[in-house]
Structure 1
Amino acid sequence: MSSGRIPEDIIEAVLKHHDIVDVIGKYVHLTKHGRNLKGLCPFHSEKSPSFNVNPEKQIFKCFGCGIGGHVIRFIQEIEGYTFGEAVRHLAEEANIDFGWEQQTPEQAERQQERDQIVKGHEFAAKLYHYILNNSAEGKAALDYLRSRGFTDSLIETFQIGYAPPRWDVLAQYLEQRQFSLPLMEKGALIAAKSSGGGYVDKFRNRVMFPIRDARGNVIAFAGRTMGNEQPKYLNSPETSLFRKSRVLYNFHAARAEIKRTSRIVLFEGYADVIKAWSAGVHNGVATMGTALTEDHALMMRRSAEQVVICYDGDEAGQAAAYKNLDILAKAGLDIKVALLPNRLDPDEYIESFGAEKFRRDIIEAAVPTDKFKLIHLRRNFNMQDNEAKLRYVRTAIREVIAHIESPTVREHHLKELANEFSSISSFETMKQETNEIREEQQKKRRSGDNNDFSWNTVMNDGTDSVPLPKLKPAYDKAERHLLYVMMHDRDVAAQVQERLGDAFNDEAHAAMAAYLYAYYAQGFEPDASRYLTALQDDKLERLASSILMTESDQGINEQVIEDYIREIRKHRQQQAIERMEQERVRVEKSGDVIGAARIAIEIIALKNQLKAM
């Protein structure tokens, strides 16, 4: 079995220490479903949960996209790690000594570089924070933050700092602490001078907000000016650590509250997140000064069922909220939109009306998407003009209400429109127009219009999404059942090895059996999760996790094992007979009658053996 140069005892210790439910539960909202736990898959968009976790076997399997395996495989996929990096990550969390030699020198160098860049960012965050709080240079920045309502407690909690106006403060300190400056340049903390010979800081004369990954490591910075300089916010450029499309500000700190409430509050900027935190909203996150992406949406869906968009109340903020509805809906999130009055932003509202009113009247009073769309659409029409009112009603029906699937919700919105605009149109007329538009939509769908939504919208029946024959061949079923029992019973595996060896008909099944023989030969006991780590092959792990999740040992006895082995051998014999029949026909066509007759006799002998099985 190969696990690179990672000692087997470390892999075993990592698996024993980390319960798969606890690890996956940090990323996926799981609910009890019989012997398993289920949730929405973090690796593809879906509306019906097809992601299963088995606590007893310590494995996971998604019957939507097919991915499956052990806890190390999950961390590999969710964090984009290699096997060694995933083991290291889990070992660090468990305080397990991970002083093994990496699989390759290249991987060792990459991990060492990553660790040093993270340490450089952590040092920079502490330095900027110290300068803000303990230097004459930082006093103006500290006064500025306090004037904006940032208390000392918030400054400490979010480790806000200050980068002084001098060119190379950070570069000098990094050099003194013996950090590799070329490596720190690679991590985007400093930049080489254009004239050559030395380095300068990336950030100068800015209030500094550390950006952390999901584990809480500082991986980048956002620097804000205190005046009118542009750009107002300057983010670190993308590096091997920092991908803007995959990072949400404050996600690491908000995770506990997100898990408790299954809700995320999405803000536009760092200041809004921090001020909302001071107001008791501890599940707030923000994008990194970039547009919301599908990766962001999936990241949120892994941890929550609902997202409340709380953007600025001005035109730009509301337009951005409207634009993001489809991305969030595609990820399967329940979406609500917080409405801030008088074009205020969250920071301003909290300052003006207080924390309790913000939580109650803004966050808790957030409206569903259909209601928000109608409110947003209304801004484009002059409600003092009867003709504009009519255009608004017809546009609202065509662009919003007619697309609502629920008849009850459709009627609710139509009645609200009819009550408000009774002088323009009646409820019956509005309903008729809605039905006509929906009929036209249905005709287009039947004509073969493409469906814009790619998520899974059906209940999953526990089978892989890859098309499979409805009725599997008897030998395939026998091999899967036999492998299931072998993974749970060393004695059965030894019996199959002696009588069948690697003579499975399916190549992947044969490979799984070979790994299983080697696994037991090393003295390991039956352990589904531990065996899966031995495979270290994505396709085999998917197959093995599928077998472990879907097969059963119910009714297994010596006779059933015998029947499985016989069925597997029978198919191999049938395949051999078919090949010999083809050979007989070829030889006969070539004119070799005697040779063909000799093959025919061999075929008869094989058929007799088949009957005797």
Structure 2
Amino acid sequence: MAGKIPRQFIDDLLARTDIVDLIDARIGLKKAGKDYQACCPFHNEKSPSFTVARDKQFYHCFGCGANGNAISFIMEYDKLEFVDAIEELASLLNLEVPREHASGAPERSIEQKRSDYDLMLQSAKFYQHQLKHHKNASSVIEYVKGRGLSGETVQRYMMGYAPPEWESLCKQIGRTAEHKKQLVELKLASEKTPGRQFDFFRDRLMFPIRDKRGRVIAFGGRVMGADQGPKYLNSPETRIFHKGFELYGLYEAKQANNKLEQILIVEGYMDVVALAEQGISYSVAALGTATTAEHMQTLFRTTDKVICCYDGDRAGRDAAWRALEHALPNLKDGKSLQFVFLPDGEDPDSLVQQEGKDAFEARYNSADDFSKVLFNKLAQTCELTADAGKAKLMSEALPLISKIPSEYYQEGLLNTLAKLIGRTREQLSTKLTTPKQQHNIERKFKVTPMRRAIGLLIQYPKLATDIEYLPDLVQMKIPGIELLLQLQLVCLQHPEYTSAQLLEYFREQPEYEPLKKLAVWQHDINEQALVTEFQHTFKFIEDQCLNFRLETLLIKDKTQGLNSAERLECALLTQALTNRKPSQN
């Protein structure tokens, strides 16, 4: 896997990217005062409430609340993960994304990466050509038709045919020593004898695997008859393909749906294309591996509702359990996870052809909610008529419930667990290994002096120089003071930062979402009064900290007594607070 992207590169990327130009190229913007407006691309509306600020390099929708910087927009609009969004922005500026490597291994250049993707695309087109023109083409096409697939579906998924000859692809694509080496490195060819390559895929129906940006990164090959080896042969991992991070059909599902209301997880390539043939264009499949945590993170970033469709046998239910475990940390409010178990001997491919789209989708109506699957699985090994079994269920369920970020889901699961083991929900709540979740950040909040100071600093990073940096205040333990001082320090260390860059600094931290909300807070402060307002607000906070310290010392004086240094500090604090002018906040 590639190393971490350096922070400096991300800062430079945001500095070079004009968010107005970026968004204007995708949805079109109109000037509105000093900012720009458009109808929001993230929800349906008739009048524009989507605003882009060039000075802050930030966008915000007053209708649905969507906001962020250039990276956030690419992630949400193009449905890309963070790293993919960085690469997309870098490619627009013709920049190469550097990586930090502990091993010191050289990073491939942007030209080398493009060459890899070009070769994969050439290979996909080669397989497509063979599906129509190889001497076996008629029998392969008959097989495809026999599986109920139309030419339109075959084309949409770029399906092809790998000829049975040993060197078909190698002779066509590997015409130079460099290309031969590249074919081997990308696992399209094997080289058991030095200098002699042969095709990795032979006599198979081919399914190109595309990443979130639509680039071909790997292949899956299916046999078309009995006794021809394993039914599916998948590309091994390469420098551009990591199966635990990719989902077959996700790119095609995004292309077929303006908004993916739900995504169906199935087990095989043929299931995905068979469902698409029947009009179910929102299914994806893992690539020869169990559903991973990364898969689930990708899915819940793309949609609010994930339906897992597995066989009803033990293997299917084991697969469902692994998917559920990986999904739990993604179950925020508004996210849904359900499970559909199919009759014995059936798979989505066979079933949808038998009963059609409407009947297949009707199965979702009786889908099992994730909570039912969770407790059914755990209860299988717990004798709930005995105290030992109840204790075991509690010990196994609570760590899983703790992983869920939604308070609503947590409370529902705790209620169910309480009924099963004869406890109250309140008793179980105290045993969770994680603290109770914070209030939903989308709720309206009171603008306290601390939030005012943080909000102003986020929106106007240059204000950091208008107050003294007092790191010792962090010892006062006033809520929010540590974050305020951290923000100020980052601004002082990076005086060129815009709001977008400052927010990006906190992306992986728990404060990121609250900071995004404060970044679009409407403060209604006249621009000429910003510095004075910020200074007054900070003075109020500083007074809070000094008062807190003085109160702490006075309490200690009454209970334990003060040493000479503390008595001097107490006297100085009393004098300082007496001499300070009252704050206007």
* Alpha-carbon distance in 1 for matches of 2:435, 2:349: 35
Residue 442 of structure 1 pairs with residue 415 of structure 2: no
1:480 aligned residue: 454
Among candidates 498, 501, 511, match of residue 489 of structure 2: 511
1:234 deviates by 0.8
Quick check: 285-294 or 254-263, which moved more? 254-263
Contact 1:20 1:59 in 2 (8 A): no
SS at match of 2:208: strand
* Alpha-carbon distance in 1 for matches of 2:278, 2:316: 21
1:101-140 counterparts in 2 under 5 A? 109-140=108-139
Contact 2:167 2:198 in 1 (8 A): yes
Residue 224 to residue 274, structure 1, CA distance change in 2 (3 Å)? same
* Alpha-carbon distance in 2 for matches of 1:176, 1:223: 23
1:83 deviates by 8.2
* Alpha-carbon distance in 2 for matches of 1:536, 1:449: 30
| Per-residue Cα deviation, 1:33-70 (whole angstroms, up to 9, x for no partner) | 9x999xxxxxxxxxxxxxxx986677589xxxxx9951
Residue 179 to residue 153, structure 1, CA distance change in 2 (3 Å)? farther
Among candidates 85, 88, 97, match of residue 90 of structure 2: 88
* Alpha-carbon distance in 1 for matches of 2:285, 2:216: 16
Contact 2:134 2:163 in 1 (8 A): no
Contact 2:324 2:370 in 1 (8 A): no
| Per-residue Cα deviation, 1:177-219 (whole angstroms, up to 9, x for no partner) | 67543344332222332x3233332222222111111221111
2:478 aligned residue: none
1:296-311 counterparts in 2 under 5 A? 296-311=295-310
1:431-470 counterparts in 2 under 5 A? 438=419, 440-442=421-423, 446=427, 460-462=440-442
TM-score (norm: length of structure 2): 0.64
What amino acid sits opposite 1:554 in the alignment?
D
1:147 deviates by 3.3
1:276 aligned residue: 275
SS at match of 1:266: strand
What amino acid sits opposite 2:22 in the alignment?
H
Among candidates 180, 195, 198, match of residue 197 of structure 1: 195
What amino acid sits opposite 1:349 in the alignment?
L
1:262 deviates by 0.6
What amino acid sits opposite 1:460 in the alignment?
N
1:500 deviates by 4.0
What amino acid sits opposite 2:489 in the alignment?
A
1:313 deviates by 6.6
1:287 deviates by 1.7
1:11 aligned residue: 17
What amino acid sits opposite 2:492 in the alignment?
A
Residue 604 to residue 347, structure 1, CA distance change in 2 (3 Å)? closer
Contact 1:68 1:542 in 2 (8 A): no
SS at match of 1:18: helix
Contact 1:170 1:201 in 2 (8 A): yes
* Alpha-carbon distance in 1 for matches of 2:582, 2:365: 73
TM-score (norm: length of structure 1): 0.61
What amino acid sits opposite 2:23 in the alignment?
H
Matched positions, count: 485
Q: Which runs of 5+ in 2 are unaligned?
A: 1-6, 29-40, 61-65, 377-392, 398-414, 474-483, 554-562
1:562 aligned residue: 532
Contact 1:15 1:71 in 2 (8 A): no
What amino acid sits opposite 1:442 in the alignment?
R
* Alpha-carbon distance in 2 for matches of 1:238, 1:149: 31
1:160 aligned residue: 159
* Alpha-carbon distance in 2 for matches of 1:158, 1:197: 34
Contact 1:190 1:199 in 2 (8 A): yes
Contact 2:14 2:500 in 1 (8 A): no
SS at match of 2:174: helix
Q: Which runs of 5+ in 1 are unaligned?
A: 24-28, 38-52, 62-66, 92-97, 379-398, 404-433, 465-469, 488-492, 520-526, 583-587, 591-595
1:125 deviates by 0.6
1:235 deviates by 0.7
2:350 aligned residue: 348
| Per-residue Cα deviation, 1:261-297 (whole angstroms, up to 9, x for no partner) | 6122222211121122111111122221222223323
Residue 363 of structure 1 pairs with residue 361 of structure 2: yes
1:114 deviates by 2.8
* Alpha-carbon distance in 2 for matches of 1:87, 1:253: 22
1:171 deviates by 2.6
* Alpha-carbon distance in 1 for matches of 2:280, 2:426: 43
1:146 deviates by 3.1
Contact 1:314 1:344 in 2 (8 A): no
Structure whose CA Rg is larger:
1
1:601 deviates by 12
1:213 aligned residue: 211
* Alpha-carbon distance in 1 for matches of 2:14, 2:419: 61
Residue 80 to residue 456, structure 1, CA distance change in 2 (3 Å)? farther
1:423 aligned residue: none
Contact 1:482 1:561 in 2 (8 A): no
1:510 deviates by 2.8
* Alpha-carbon distance in 1 for matches of 2:571, 2:417: 74
Contact 1:20 1:71 in 2 (8 A): no
Where relative contact order (Cα < 8 A, 6+ residues apart) is larger, the structure is: 1
2:476 aligned residue: none
* Alpha-carbon distance in 2 for matches of 1:568, 1:9: 29
Contact 2:264 2:284 in 1 (8 A): yes
* Alpha-carbon distance in 2 for matches of 1:324, 1:543: 27
1:438 deviates by 1.8
Contact 1:264 1:284 in 2 (8 A): yes
Residue 264 of structure 1 pairs with residue 270 of structure 2: no
1:248 deviates by 1.6
1:238 aligned residue: 237
What amino acid sits opposite 2:94 in the alignment?
G
Residue 186 to residue 361, structure 1, CA distance change in 2 (3 Å)? same
Residue 340 to residue 547, structure 1, CA distance change in 2 (3 Å)? closer
1:549-588 counterparts in 2 under 5 A? 549=519, 551-555=521-525, 561-562=531-532, 564-566=534-536, 568=538
SS at match of 2:288: coil
* Alpha-carbon distance in 2 for matches of 1:277, 1:455: 43
Residue 364 to residue 543, structure 1, CA distance change in 2 (3 Å)? closer
What amino acid sits opposite 1:553 in the alignment?
H
* Alpha-carbon distance in 1 for matches of 2:99, 2:155: 41
Residue 309 to residue 603, structure 1, CA distance change in 2 (3 Å)? closer
1:364 deviates by 2.3
1:334 aligned residue: 336
| Per-residue Cα deviation, 1:514-571 (whole angstroms, up to 9, x for no partner) | 377536xxxxxxx7447757x6986699499447437442355767743542564687
* Alpha-carbon distance in 1 for matches of 2:510, 2:426: 39
* Alpha-carbon distance in 1 for matches of 2:503, 2:351: 53
1:388-399 counterparts in 2 under 5 A? none
SS at match of 1:220: strand
Contact 1:191 1:199 in 2 (8 A): yes
2:405 aligned residue: none
1:119 deviates by 1.5
Residue 177 to residue 262, structure 1, CA distance change in 2 (3 Å)? farther
1:222 deviates by 0.5
1:103 deviates by 5.7
